[in-house]
Structure 1
């Protein structure tokens, strides 16, 4: 890389899928990686996690993270293990949440490898995890925290700023100045009326915008998610059913608990037992309490929602829930049914039509959650085919992502049009639909980049 080379942006992920967020900036002889996420969903995407990183990890000078979800951070342990020696910049909230998410990700991958070895179901002998819990813990030493709205240097002539994105604790938009050129990454953009998080900061004038498009082809339901949730719980409780709520341990778990707490305080639902069966969500609660400046909740409401649920930490206590029967509510991860304790509950309670499964967020194609949402009534869980007789409800209104209308309104506030808007982090239909709306409604130049494509930031096209 020569100093005189124009600044470039290369799309190393999140271009034909919602997952695998990875963007490489090359400017002034420096390489800066924005996000370092895992690919999730279809096997053809997950296999990308196993191929060598597109550039040598040792050649990357710094990583900057938008937020803690694994599709944005989950490859950091592998990058550090394979030679990256620079800083990983993140907000305080993102850093704290990564101390939970990354070691847990390594542990689950070790468990999956052991299980595949035991069953002989892997093509590799022995099957190996992408990285270990120890790799993840070691990578946490690379993290350097930075505050919102405080520009910081990340290389010669390169300055970064974290701006609030809503979505989850610590989530940031990233604004980069590259010697007079500006590039802005939305990360995952939150909602203006989110019950838990404040709205994302308005978009300022930028030369190049890189936007997510998770819900780029649809709007969230206009009705109240709290009322919808209350109706489901009341209906299922009357038939003594178990309500299994699959929720991401960070973000959506808090939102669901908030709705449940408000419903019970109003006597809008039966006062049945609620179990928070996610050690990670339990641990994250303390982090949300420490960063009250980032969310809307008063202390009394925050305390009430955690008093509502019985925390379940041990595996033995989790197994006991499968003997209890309904009526009860179990809130557990993972949100897309890709792993975690929710799978054991699905094995046990999924076949019974008295019970219900609530999918509470985006379901990436290729996941069990997406299959259920599409009408599948049989899931492969731990090597067995489990018949699903339970009622299945996908609650789009619980999502912490801005929908298409919210994305357009957020962009519309910008004082000037970017020279180019690159649309990422969405399935093909979502990305192309929002591309069309950006061009027609805002009059901006916009396009969907290809996987591994490189573009000039001096002359974006």
Structure 2
């Protein structure tokens, strides 16, 4: 019998910080290595060393490039990890962009906190810096999807297409003849830019995300809603600010707005894309056309339609531009990035509309706006919220409950254990009951730092 220990080091009882450690007699594998985001209690977990020896991890397998799945990597390297960080080529391209951007934000936040003295730490230090990010990126090693890669005599893995964002996969790990399936983040069956997710056929042990385990995405006429908001913005001489995730959501919004203009459903209003990271992600779409639906011709025509901002000086020129306009800027949950500069200047105006276009985790400014906060804190100062706040849930890159149930429907066997991860407590519990009722499977919701031992 081979003893395998599973350590739930993140995204357990919460949505963020995905980290799952497989301790085996032959190899020690970490699946994803994300940062915690959201409420302070979660963010503080990022500063605590992992309850495992990082130097004993042989490799990290990445489901996709998002920060809550990759953002802890430079800290892992600082803790002594020396192995390979393995993902699909577009996942590693996205992860590199995100880690460099994250390091820059950490450095800027520390610098601003020290200058304005609003941190209790003296001096405030960046979580990691550019040098840390570059060292980590140097450890990247890519594997193509659908190829079985041996890690040792009795362990192999493969990546399989999963929608969600470009490069994203679910991971099948064959351990001593047992199939461990890590869902990563499951994409939508009808995505604007990406193909439908593939689905696993066999899972002895299933690790299933539950972000929308208790919800169905609403049927929204997204094109009509965007057209109406733009008409209102022009009529009131205001600004439509869309905080956007740089990966996938930004490109989907660009595609929607470009399509609306092509079909004469909106006038030629100035649209500014202010997301350095998002601009870099666009190049990944150009490099890996086989991973998405857009032709190169469509991609180039779409990009040419927008005012793409490259410097912080141009951010201020855009703010000072008196014309009605649309600004799409990072970050999607309003936790950092260029969108903070726009909101600091414009969220106190009644002519401003803020459109939230995805999941807003607890403790983020995006969630505060979604919940109707009368003020938000930006750069240490409270700004009154007089803007109209709208939310488009159907643009989410995450599968809803029905789509998740469809995703597991192809599994031929009954998994020995199904672990529900990457969800908030209400979502996890509702989805646990749903799977148990509809499938009759044994479902477990692990807590943070729980260790499950299996005999294979």
Whether these two folds match at TM > 0.5 is yes
Corresponding residue of 1:222: 219
Corresponding residue of 1:263: 260
Q: How does 1:204-219 map to 2 (within 5 A)?
A: 204-219=201-216
Q: How does 1:289-308 map to 2 (within 5 A)?
A: 289-308=286-305
Corresponding residue of 1:38: 35
Q: Which moved more, 1:251-260 or 1:291-300?
A: 291-300
CA distance in 2: counterparts of 1:450 and 1:232, whole angstroms: 42
CA distance in 2: counterparts of 1:183 and 1:40, whole angstroms: 27
CA shift for structure 1 position 52: 1.0
CA shift for structure 1 position 81: 2.2
Q: 2:241 aligns with which of 209, 230, 244?
A: 244
Corresponding residue of 1:419: 416
Q: What TM-score results when the alignment is normalised by the length of structure 2?
A: 0.98
Query: 1:127 and 2:129 equivalent?
Result: no
Corresponding residue of 1:55: 52
Q: What TM-score results when the alignment is normalised by the length of structure 1?
A: 0.97
Q: 1:186 aligns with which of 183, 189, 207?
A: 183
Q: Secondary structure at the match of 2:3?
A: coil
Q: How does 1:11-410 map to 2 (within 5 A)?
A: 11-410=8-407
CA distance in 2: counterparts of 1:234 and 1:15, whole angstroms: 43
CA distance in 2: counterparts of 1:207 and 1:150, whole angstroms: 20
CA distance in 2: counterparts of 1:345 and 1:271, whole angstroms: 21
CA distance in 1: counterparts of 2:345 and 2:101, whole angstroms: 24
CA shift for structure 1 position 313: 0.6
| Contact map agreement 1:188 1:212 (CA 8 A) in 2 | yes
In structure 2, runs of 5+ residues without a counterpart are none
Q: Secondary structure at the match of 2:394?
A: helix
CA shift for structure 1 position 126: 1.6
Q: Secondary structure at the match of 2:86?
A: strand
Q: Secondary structure at the match of 1:397?
A: coil
| Contact map agreement 2:49 2:79 (CA 8 A) in 1 | no
| Contact map agreement 1:175 1:185 (CA 8 A) in 2 | yes
| Contact map agreement 1:205 1:414 (CA 8 A) in 2 | yes
Which whole-Å deviations, capped at 9, do the CAs of 1:180-225 have from their partners, x for residues lacking one? 1110001011000011111111121110110111111111111232
CA distance in 1: counterparts of 2:385 and 2:442, whole angstroms: 46
| Contact map agreement 1:216 1:430 (CA 8 A) in 2 | yes
CA distance in 1: counterparts of 2:447 and 2:455, whole angstroms: 19
CA distance in 1: counterparts of 2:415 and 2:10, whole angstroms: 22
CA distance in 2: counterparts of 1:166 and 1:457, whole angstroms: 31
CA distance in 2: counterparts of 1:238 and 1:350, whole angstroms: 18
Q: Secondary structure at the match of 1:7?
A: strand
CA shift for structure 1 position 5: 5.1
CA distance in 1: counterparts of 2:76 and 2:30, whole angstroms: 11
CA distance in 2: counterparts of 1:429 and 1:225, whole angstroms: 27
CA shift for structure 1 position 457: 3.5
- Number of aligned positions between the proteins: 456
Which whole-Å deviations, capped at 9, do the CAs of 1:87-146 have from their partners, x for residues lacking one? 000100011112211011111111111222223232322221121111001111110000
| Contact map agreement 2:233 2:325 (CA 8 A) in 1 | no
Q: Secondary structure at the match of 2:455?
A: coil
Which whole-Å deviations, capped at 9, do the CAs of 1:157-185 have from their partners, x for residues lacking one? 21110000101111010100011111000
CA distance in 1: counterparts of 2:152 and 2:55, whole angstroms: 15
Q: Secondary structure at the match of 1:457?
A: strand
